[in-house]
Structure 1
Amino acid sequence: MARTTDSLLVARIGKPHGLRGEVTVQTHTDDPESRYAPGTLFETEAQPGTGVPRQLTLSTARKHREVWLLGFAEIPDRTGAESLRGTRLFLDLDTVEEDADADDDGWYEHDLVGLSVRDPDGAVLGEVTGLVVGAVQDLLEVRLSDGREALVPFVEAIVTEVDTEAGHVVVDAPAGLFDLDET
């Protein structure tokens, strides 16, 4: 699907809920109350051939047992909602109000992808290819210099520095972190 490269992943759609087209979502935003405002237009990313519209207009948003339920103007029933399963929802960064709080130590995936990964001595270990947002902690997806893929816990004790201006992150990896799949 064609979407702008300057977009923010907000949610991934799960299973349908009820008969009126609502779906559960796995939230990937720190501010769902403002991101899930009725009338919000989301860009979508879905598997080819699913028939998912390129954009969805949010019509309803509510929490049910700590799970967000979203409804879309383009999806009137459960059958339509089922077709959305696995679809990722994005907001254009131009429409997202950036938090002006200087003490915010958070990063969006687009801030991190492409940064080189270095050890504390400055040796290049690889490149950040993605960010896996987790309930307890996030993980950096890293393509190591030898082509292997690795997941690095995105915690201060391991990722000791993020310098987007210099274009790198420093990873003080515990022994064996990058050797887990070797025998």
Structure 2
Amino acid sequence: MTQLQVGRIGRAHGIRGEVTITPFTDDPDRRFAVGSRLQTDSAARPVLVVAGARRSGPVQVVGFEGIVDRNTAETLRGIHLLVDAEALPETEDEDEFYDHQLVGLAVHHHSTGEVLGEVVDVMHPPAAPVLVINRPDGTEELVPFVSAIVPVVDLAAGTVTVDPPDGMFA
């Protein structure tokens, strides 16, 4: 079963057992909703249940059941929060994809069909997602994940088709 990281626990926040979370999800409000059960990469705490969540400025703050003081909260620092990929809802738009669906896809040139590499990661800078492509020569190419450059994603075929501007993949 494939597990996906949806967040990483940061420092304790306040004295009541809350922690900061670095979210790796596009919908932290739903992912960290009260009652959500999150698996972890910690043998000491394999499952954490969200008892409360809020924003404090730009920071996601979460409290977990059974974590009631700052000292206990601090022991959670660095734990990765995980969900089963199969538990994720289907995307509502046929042109939306989860990162894990894109990683591993072969990248082909729109005009020539040439294999340009393989998607190895998806980055999320402020403007638009970026596909990290491992090229056959071992170098990486960063490709903005916008329809003008990536017109076709075919999950069934395991391919991404790119129409790169001049200079990209040169």
State the TM-score, normalizing by the size of structure 2. Answer: 0.81
Deviation of residue 133 (structure 1)?
A: 2.7
Residue aligning to 1:160? 151
1:149 to 140, 143, 159: 140
RMSD across aligned C-alpha pairs, in angstroms?
2.5
**How far apart are the structure 2 equivalents of 1:130 and 1:110?**
8
User: 1:9-50: CA deviations, max 9, x gaps?
Assistant: 32233333212222222333333332222221112247xxxx
Deviation of residue 117 (structure 1)?
A: 0.8
Structure 1 residues not aligned, in runs of 5+? none
Deviation of residue 169 (structure 1)?
A: 0.5
Contact 1:38–1:58 (8 Å) recurs in 2: yes
User: 1:90-148: CA deviations, max 9, x gaps?
Assistant: 2223433334x3x3521112211111011112100111112223333222122111122
Residue aligning to 1:89? 81
Contact 2:51–2:64 (8 Å) recurs in 1: yes
Are 2:2 and 1:10 equivalent residues in the alignment? no
**How far apart are the structure 2 equivalents of 1:157 and 1:39?**
40
**How far apart are the structure 2 equivalents of 1:86 and 1:133?**
21
Are 2:105 and 1:109 equivalent residues in the alignment? no
1:172 to 140, 163, 167: 163
Are 2:15 and 1:23 equivalent residues in the alignment? no
DSSP-derived class of the 2:156 partner: coil
Structure 1, 141-150 or 115-124: larger mean CA deviation: 141-150
Deviation of residue 154 (structure 1)?
A: 1.5
Contact 1:28–1:133 (8 Å) recurs in 2: no
Letter in 2 for 1:176: G
**How far apart are the structure 1 equivalents of 2:18 and 2:159?**
41
**How far apart are the structure 2 equivalents of 1:85 and 1:172?**
43
**How far apart are the structure 2 equivalents of 1:86 and 1:150?**
30
Distance 1:132 1:74, change over 3 A: farther
Deviation of residue 74 (structure 1)?
A: 4.8
State the TM-score, normalizing by the size of structure 1. Answer: 0.76
Contact 1:8–1:108 (8 Å) recurs in 2: no
Structure 2 residues not aligned, in runs of 5+? none
Are 2:28 and 1:38 equivalent residues in the alignment? no
Residue aligning to 1:76? 68
Contact 1:160–1:172 (8 Å) recurs in 2: yes
